[in-house]
A and B are shown apart, each in its own frame.
Chain A
Amino acid sequence: MIGIIDYGMGNLFSVSKALQHMDIPHVVSASPSELQTCKGLLLPGVGAFPDAMKSLEASGMKDFLLHQVNQGVPLLGICLGMQLLFEESAEGKGAAGLALLPGRVVRFTGQDVLGNRYKVPHMGWNDLTFYQRNDVLTQSITGGYVYFVHSYYVETMDPSIVIASARYETEVPAIVGKGNVYGTQFHPEKSATTGMAILGNFCNFIMKKEECLYGTIHNLSSY
């Protein structure tokens, strides 16, 4: 069972539907006790970083997540959910994150090195440059476009955690991960075939870890 964390920030419906398409058992819940037995966790989210952290803290979800990750439970953050994995964000008045990965979240400046303005948010389908091809999330993915919509992005001093990136005036970490903690800046649940394959990879990783066969992800081919 995979747990989708509901902390009042965004569109859980599409993530849940994506898993449903792939016949992956999952539960959407705002309660740590309900998510206790999940073998993998998904942290979606859109909206503002400080509000999201407040909500995670108030519900006890922050402590729960840190504890589960420490126990080896795989975690995948999506979009804002990925940003929350890092140490801090400059969004709003600034806020500390979960600090599971090294780096900070900053806003696109909207101005290139020559002083020309560019558009924020980074919105639409962009392609990925892969640094780690056979990682958990990137297995069997050879390319393709994925859907981004965000105004903030991650800056990290540790290149080893950047599995793939996209180019939008600057280098935008698109898939990050270390150990059992992963994140995608784009929305895999909105990224057609490529996105479904990435979500499928994460679920496979959990299943393998669980050493238990839930049945195959046979619906993947229908995308």
Chain B
Amino acid sequence: MLTKRIIPCLDVREGRVVKGIQFGNIRDAGDPVQLAKLYDEQGADELVFLDISATNEGRKTMLEVVRQVAATLTIPFTVGGGIASIADMRAILRAGADKVSLNSAAVRNPELIREGARYFGSQCMVVAIDAKYKRASNSWNVYTHGGREESEWNVIDWAQHVQRLGAGELLLTSMDQDGEKSGFDLPLLEAIQQKVYLPVIASGGAGRGEHFVQVFQRNLADAALAASIFHYKETSITNVKQMLKQSGVHVR
């Protein structure tokens, strides 16, 4: 039986993991390769790296990070952040990433998804969607540029559109829940789950192990992503998986 996946996310800037990370047993907490290895050993099912470098130099460094991570990991990993062309995708995939994640560039030029799927296969095309609730329309809108710009797309319409274009997976982040630590955005996930037939990674809002149980017991996502609760050791992947098992959710 297909299991539910737990995915830690690492934000990388100029080759270093940002956000303070509290792992007692690694000396250089900002090293993405060491952290990736640690999460792999703890039972992470996949990893996501988000390159938030502001400079071209930083992006080049990211390729080197990807190479080193690929040499270390025995699980799949996705790289996102600033990917805007087929050439960008090729560089990341050739460096050893298994999937690329598109966000703003896909909204600006949706054909990029179709082209990427044709060249590299749908299985490696993740579309990241930053969603924010809009009371006036009682629905969610797609935001780009790290949540700073509102697009014209409604989240459900956009998700269906990228499915048609050949996306292989959605990374759905709730901007409303992000950082709140009060649980994943269940209404948003439910709305997507009813309309889209792609694997969905829930993101934004994880604060405790119970939040993973909530989202998976109701089968509202195929995977769940979290950053700070793992980085800050508020819980561990092992603990979350233990809790899921006890709740009857299939995990690896």
The chain A residues found within 8 Å of chain B, CB to CB, are: 10-11, 13-14, 17-18, 20, 46-48, 110, 117-127, 145, 147, 149-151, 167-168, 187, 189-193, 195-196, 223
Contact = CB atoms under 8 A, between A and B. Distances in A.
A126 B124 contact: no
A190 B122 contact: no
Most buried by B among A14, A110, A118, A122: A14
A13 B96 contact: yes
A11 B96 contact: yes
Nearest to A193: B74
Contacts of A192: 40, 74-75
A189 B134 CA distance: 43
Contacts of A17: 70-71, 96
B123 interface: yes
Interface stretch (B1-9, B10-18, B139-147): B1-9
B60 interface: no
Interface in B144-188: 168-169
A14 B222 contact: no
Given A121-B168, A123-B168, A196-B74, A47 B2 contact: no
Given A187-B76, A193-B74, 13 more contacts: A14-B98, A17-B96, A47-B121, A48-B121, A118-B197, A123-B222, A126-B3, A190-B75, A190-B98, A192-B40, A192-B74, A195-B74, A196-B74
Most buried by A among B93, B121, B168: B121
Complex A-B, nearest 8 residue pairs according to Cβ-Cβ distance, in ascending order: A13-B96, A149-B123, A145-B252, A47-B121, A125-B252, A192-B74, A123-B199, A125-B3
Size category, B interface? 20 to 34
A193 B252 CA distance: 12
B210 to A, nearest CB: 22
25 contacts: A17-B70, A46-B120, A46-B121, A117-B197, A118-B197, A119-B199, A121-B122, A121-B168, A121-B199, A123-B123, A123-B168, A123-B169, A124-B2, A124-B4, A124-B222, A124-B223, A125-B2, A125-B3, A125-B5, A127-B1, A150-B123, A187-B76, A190-B74, A190-B76, A191-B75
Contact of A47 (B4, B74, B76, B120): B120
B233 interface: no
Interface of B: 1-5, 40, 45, 70-71, 74-76, 93-96, 98, 118-124, 168-169, 197-199, 222-223, 252
A188 to B, nearest CB: 10
Interface class of chain A by DSSP: mixed
A46 B124 contact: yes
B123 A46 contact: yes
Given A117-B197, A122-B2, A151-B123, A13 B169 contact: no
Nearest to A187: B76
B163 to A, nearest CB: 10
A121 B40 CA distance: 23
Contacts of A110: 197
Contacts of A127: 1, 3
A112 to B, nearest CB: 12
Contacts of B1: 126-127, 167
Contacts of B93: 11
A123 B94 CA distance: 21
A223 B74 contact: yes
A11 B5 CA distance: 22
B212 to A, nearest CB: 15
Contacts of A167: 1
B70 A14 contact: yes
Nearest to B168: A121
Contacts of B71: 17, 20
Contacts of A48: 118, 121
A47 to B, nearest CB: 5
